[in-house]
Each structure stands twice: as C-alpha cells, then as structure tokens.
Amino acid sequence: MAESYKTLIRRWTELINSGNLEPMDEIVKPDFVRHSEATPGVGVRSLEDFKAFDRESRKVYGDYHVNLETLIEEGDKVAFWGTFHGVQIGPLGPYPATGKPVSGQMSGYFRIEDGMIAELWITWDNMAALAQLGHIPSPS
C-alpha cells in the first residue's frame, strides 16, 4: 500500500505542475482540508477551495513548479520535502509584482483516506521568499 500512496502523491504533483486540476476529483476527497501557517487567513476546506486557491496562486506566480524530492510513507500519511519555483508576475498581498524568480524549500505531509488525499499540512519560509523577491532585506 505504501507505494500506492507515494504514487498518489506523485500524481498530485503532476497535476499541480500541469495547471490542470480537474483530474484531482479522481484522487482528492471533496472535503479535502489544507493546513498552512505560511498562509494565515487562507481557508481551504474542500477540493473546490483548493482549486480556487491554486488559481489565485497562479495569478501571483504564473506557471510555478513543485518538485517533491523526498517521500516517506507511514501508515495513512506521506511526508515530503521538496522545492517550489516560480516567477512573481502578480501582487503578493501588499507586495507588488517584481518579475523576479523565487525558489524555496517546503515540507509537510498528506493524509490518505479511502485511497484518496484527505488532508495536507504544508510549510515554507515566507521571509526567505520575500527577501529573494526584494520585498524585504536579505539577511546578512
């Protein structure tokens, strides 16, 4: 079962990177929940909420790319370590678009239920991303 869970997460990543989230209906539960301290105030309590969140993210980062480099399965969870790459083409909260690329590391885990993705916990370093984009000073 572990490899099938990893395969499910690899499929998720393929869909994210393609920008076509419609096939997610086949692998993600309708009541999917995303948890992230990195995006306070953003509520994702369904697959439709997630699709809307992704559409808004693409207005900021265009054709962003996610690479999940490490997947570790334990029980009904698949942990990951990966990277995110994008170019800021739109405003990010109070920060105007810069046209600059941003790359960062991220980690988290997925919970699988009935063979489908039910929850995601994800985190990354917002300060490092804002510094790369020139919105705040880089640490010395």
pLDDT band at 41 (very low <50, low <70, confident <90, very high): confident
- If you ran DSSP here, which 8-state letter would residue 41 be given? T
pLDDT on residue 3: 63
Integer Cα distance of 111 and 24 in angstroms: 15
Tell whether the model's pLDDT for residue 1 goes beyond 70: no
pLDDT on residue 104: 96
pLDDT on residue 66: 98
- If you ran DSSP here, which 8-state letter would residue 135 be given? S
Burial of 137 (0-12, 13-18, 19+ CB in 10 A): exposed
pLDDT on residue 139: 80
Residues 24/51, Cβ–Cβ less than 8 Å: yes
pLDDT on residue 8: 97
Give residue for tokens 């929940």. Answer: 33
pLDDT on residue 83: 98
Residue ranges in 19-125 assigned as alpha helix (H): 47-61
For the segment 90-125, what is each residue's pLDDT rounded down to a tens digit?
Answer: 999 999 999 999 999 999 999 999 999 999 999 999
CATH architecture of the domain formed by 2-132: Roll (3.10)
Domain ranges of the chain: 2-132
Strand locations in 52-100 (E): 65-74, 77-87
The pTM of the full predicted model, rounded to 2 decimals, is 0.92
